[in-house]
Amino acid sequence: MQDKRINIFQILKQEGKLEKVLIYPAVETVVDPYEKNTTNTMLNPISIDALVRQISTEALAWKYYGLIPTESKEICCEKKWKDTIKLASKIKIGNDYYKCYHDDQKGFGIIERQDYLVVILERKNT
C-alpha cells in the first residue's frame, strides 16, 4: 500500500522557502580524567534544508518555558537530523551562529512531530 501523505519539505523546496543551514557537530574528548578537563573537536559541517523562522518576543514569553534569549530562531527540518542537531556545537544560518536550546534540566529544545522536527535555536556568542 502506498503512503499518501504529502511531503511538506518537497513543497517548500519547490516554493523556495527552505534555507541552507550548516550544522557543525563536535566530539567531546576527555583530556585529563582526574580534573575532568574536556576539549571539543569540530567535525566537517553538514548542510541541511530547513524552514527558518524568527521567534517573536511575545512567542518566547507565551509559547516556551524558561528564559530563551531574544534573537532566537525556530527551524523545521526532517526527523532524520535529530541526532545530528543534538551533537551540534554550533549551527550557522546566514552569517549568524546558533546552538540548540538547552533548558535547566539539560533537555533539548526539540519538538518532535509526526513528519518533522521543530528545533529552538538560541544565539551563540562567537
Which of the following CATH numbers is that of domain 8-123: 3.40.50.720, 3.30.70.20, 3.40.50.150, 2.40.10.270? 2.40.10.270
Task: State the DSSP code for 106.
Answer: S
Quickly state the pLDDT bin for 2 (edges 50, 70, 90).
low
What pLDDT does 4 receive? 66
Residue 123 C-alpha cell reads as: 544565539
Model pTM score: 0.78
Quickly state the pLDDT bin for 68 (edges 50, 70, 90).
low
Quickly state the pLDDT bin for 28 (edges 50, 70, 90).
confident
Task: State the DSSP code for 4.
Answer: -
The helix/strand/coil state of 68 is: coil
Residue 77 Cα distances to 9, 67, 91, 126, angstroms = 8, 23, 13, 24
What pLDDT does 126 receive? 58
CB 117 within 8 A of CB 77: yes
How many Cβ atoms are within 10 Å of 22's Cβ, its own excluded?
16
CB 74 within 8 A of CB 119: yes
pLDDT above 90: percentage of residues in the chain: 31
Average pLDDT value for the chain: 83
